[in-house]
A and B are shown apart, each in its own frame.
Chain A
Amino acid sequence: MNSCETDRDSIGSWLDGELSPSQSEAVQSHVATCGACAETRRQLEKIDRTLKTSLDAEAVRVDFLPFWREVQSRINRKRSPIEQLVDWGRDILTAPRVTWAIPAVIIVLIGILSLDAYLPGWKFGAARNSFAAVDSIDAHGSSVALLRENETKTTVIWLYQDEEGENDAAADESAKSGPTF
């Protein structure tokens, strides 16, 4: 971008009085000698003037007393409970608070979902008390039984073993005393 384009882009800020004194002087000097930039200045001033005139024309139509009466009636009017709730919400949820409230709510929600990691036994949502499942069993030649009981959701693998080093009577008793599924 050349220096003329740079100055032309700064004309708006110059007219607004927002440039530093040195920048302002540089732009002013350039506009005085550059036809294109002088034309830009003229156009911007005309836009500003036209916009201000058009809105000024409207503003003078607004009489104070009727305006004030309407504002007063809003102030004095009894607000419905819903309007009061909305007003309260607006007062509490100012923009800076919303900046913190929204991520805080997200963190709290995620925390609740993760709560059972910190409170053993606490369960969120549907109970997780489902069955233990058995995928494979190898009893190395011994007898084995698999029990599932629906009401209590119990899963039992029962290994039938003979007692070692006990007399026959005790061994028989032991074998008979397996669970009665």
Chain B
Amino acid sequence: MELTDSELVQKCQAGEMSAFQELVSRYHQKVYMVILGLLRHREDALEVAQETFFRAFRKINSFQGGSSFYTWLYRIAVNMAIDAQRRQKRNPLDFRENMDDLLEAQNEVAQDPFSDVHDRELRESLVKAINELTPEHKAVIVLRTIEGLSYKDIGEILGCSEGTVMSRLHYARKKLQDKLSAYL
């Protein structure tokens, strides 16, 4: 029978590395997705995701179970991603090259006879528009869209109230609607 996150955490705290491995297995893609949504740079997102789990391992004994494990983990991930984003000193050319890679990858996956130019342009514009949001607005959009997390959970992760989450989401969505109106 599959163990719950809490049970796995308890085993980790007792020193069982296999329990931590299972937690990494469950969350590594989700954590990566959230971080990629914030950083928009593949290598950086991978590096930050790995560092997130390393930090989580170091701090596992301090996890008291006051929140769910995944909100605790996402809090570490989002804080690290926002830190990395502020440190990101990519020159526009590097950024442009990486963005092109990302968009190409998405187009490869989406490349089927029914995928049209319009959708491709929407994806490109969406990536750019998300990137123009502030880190805080980006974080709420990514956490809500990718993970479907509740406002309460998002608030716990970002250390703000549900009301703040709601207003940030509203603002971010309005911004995206305005910028993408031609493609929606």
Binding site for B on A (CB under 8 A): 9, 12-13, 16-18, 40, 42-44, 46-48, 50-62, 64, 67-68, 70-71, 74-75, 87, 91, 95
Listed by A's residue number, 11 A-B pairs whose Cβ atoms lie within 8 Å are A18-B150, A43-B184, A55-B33, A58-B32, A58-B33, A58-B102, A61-B105, A62-B29, A67-B46, A74-B51, A75-B54
Decide yes or no whether B88 CB sits under 8 A from chain A: no
Task: List chain A residues, Cβ under 8 A from B141.
Answer: 51
> When A and B form their complex, what is the total count of cross-chain residue pairs whose Cβ atoms lie within 8 Å?
110
Are A55 and B126 in contact (CB-based, < 8 A)?
no
User: With A and B bound together, what is the CA distance between A68 and B57 in angstroms?
Assistant: 12
A35 to chain B, nearest CB (A): 15
Are B33 and A47 in contact (CB-based, < 8 A)?
no
Closest residue of B by beta carbon distance from A77? B54
User: With A and B bound together, what is the CA distance between A59 and B173 in angstroms?
Assistant: 23
Are A52 and B145 in contact (CB-based, < 8 A)?
yes
Binding site for A on B (CB under 8 A): 21, 24-25, 28-30, 32-33, 36-37, 42, 46, 49-51, 53-54, 57-59, 62, 102, 105-106, 109-110, 119, 122-123, 126-127, 130, 141-142, 144-146, 150-151, 159, 162, 166, 169-170, 173, 176-177, 180-181, 184
Are A60 and B50 in contact (CB-based, < 8 A)?
no
